[in-house]
Amino acid sequence: MQISAPALLDVPTAKPMVAPQRRRSTQWLRVLSPPVLLVLWQIGCSTGFISSRTLAAPSQVISSFIALTADGALQHHLLVSLGRVAKGMSIALLLGGGLALLSGLSRTGEYVIDAPMQMLRTLPVLALIPFFIIWFGIGEVPKVALVAVAAIFPIYLTLYSGIRGVDPKLVELAKVIGLSRGALIRHVILPGALPTALVGVRYSLGISWLILVAAEQVNATSGIGYLMNDARDFMRIDIMVVGLLIYALLGLAVDILVRWLERRLLAWRPSFVNAAA
C-alpha cells in the first residue's frame, strides 16, 4: 500500500549544509532576488516591453487589489471559496475518515471498502466534472462534491495505512493491561495513526484548492475562480493576477494551519519534544 504523497511525509526540515562563510557572503542574494525580479517586471511593463495584454504591472495589480478589497468584492469571493473548501473538506474528513476506520479496524471492512477505494483513487477527479454537472447540475453541489471527492482519498489512504501501521507491540500491551476495544482504538490506535493521517489532511487541503480553481470555472457566480474567469472575459489581467496571488496565499495559509495543528497534536513526538527542551 503506497501513499501517493511521499514528498509530504513529515521530515523536520534540515538546514542546508553550506559552509558558513560562503553562506554569509551569498545569502543577501537570496533576499534581493525577488524584489529585483519584481522591479524588472515593473520596468518591463512600464516601458511597454511586456504588453499589458500579456501581464499586468505589479503596481497595477496592487491598485486592483486595493480597489477590490475596498468595495468588498474580494472578501465576498474569498469567503465563498473558503466556504466551499470547508464544506468539501468536512465531507471528506467524515467520509474518508469513517471509511478508513471501517477498513482499518476490521477485516470485513477492508475487503468491502479497500479494493474499490484503491481503484477509485486512480481516477483523475477533473474528468468527473462533466458527470457532476449531469448529476448535480451547475449550482453549489457539484463544486462542493468535487472538492469532497478529491479530498477523500488522501485522508482515507493515510488514515488507513496509519491504523495498520500502529506498533503491534503496543496493541499487545493494551491486551495485557486489559483495555477494552473502545479504549484500545481511542488511546492506542487513533493516536498512533494520527501523524500519518495529518499528512493526508495537509495533502487534501492542497488538493481542495487545486480542484476548486477548476470547479469555480463551471458556471459560478462567485468565488475566486469566478473572479478570475470573469476578469478574463473583460481582459482584466490585473485582476487575474490578484486571483493567482490569493490562491498562492491560501495555499501558504493552509500549510501554516496544518503545521500548527501538528505541533499541537503531536507534541509528544521526539522532534517536537527536543525542540521544546
Partner 1 sequence: MSNRAVNVRGVSRLFGKTLALDNVDLGIDSGEFVALLGRSGSGKSTLLRTLAGLDAPSAGSVHVPDERMVVFQEPRLLPWKTAIQNVELGLRGERAADHARSAMAEVGLEHRLHAYPATLSGGEAQRAALARALVRDPKLLLLDEPFAALDALTRMRMHALIESLWKRHHLSVLLITHDVDEAILLADRALVLDKGRIIASVSIDLPRPRELSHPGFLNLRKQLLSAIGVDIQAPTFDAADPQGAPDSTLLPRSIVMA
129-146 in b/e burial notation, b at 16+ Cβ within 10 A? Answer: beebeeeeeeebebbbbb
State the CB neighbour count (10 A cutoff) for residue 39.
Answer: 11
Torsions phi, psi for 198 (to 5 deg): -65, -30
Min dist CB 249 to partner 1, Å, is 33
- Which parts of 168-187 interact with partner 1 (CB under 8 A)? 169-170, 172-180, 183, 187
Closest C-alpha among 262, 263, 253, 260 to residue 209: 253
Min dist CB 174 to partner 1, Å, is 8
Determine which residue in the list 76, 121, 232, 269 makes contact with partner 1, applying CB under 8 A: 269
Stretch that binds partner 1, among 4-12, 120-128, 216-224, 262-270 (CB under 8 A): 262-270
Q: Give 218's DSSP letter.
A: S
Distance of alpha carbon 133 from alpha carbon 126, whole angstroms = 12
C-alpha cell at 154: 488522501
Determine which residue in the list 123, 133, 273, 275 makes contact with partner 1, applying CB under 8 A: 273
Binding mask 125-164 for partner 1 (x = CB under 8 A): ----------------------------------------
Min dist CB 179 to partner 1, Å, is 5
**Beta carbons of 162 and 196 less than 8 angstroms apart:** yes
**Sequence-separated (6 or more) residues with CB below 8 Å from residue 129:** 142, 146, 214, 215, 218
Q: Decide whether 15 or 169 has the Cβ nearer to partner 1.
A: 169
- Which parts of 182-241 interact with partner 1 (CB under 8 A)? 183, 187-188, 191-192, 194
Stretch that binds partner 1, among 37-45, 70-78, 131-139, 264-272 (CB under 8 A): 264-272
Report the interface residues with partner 1, using CB under 8 A.
169-170, 172-180, 183, 187-188, 191-192, 194, 266-270, 273-274, 277
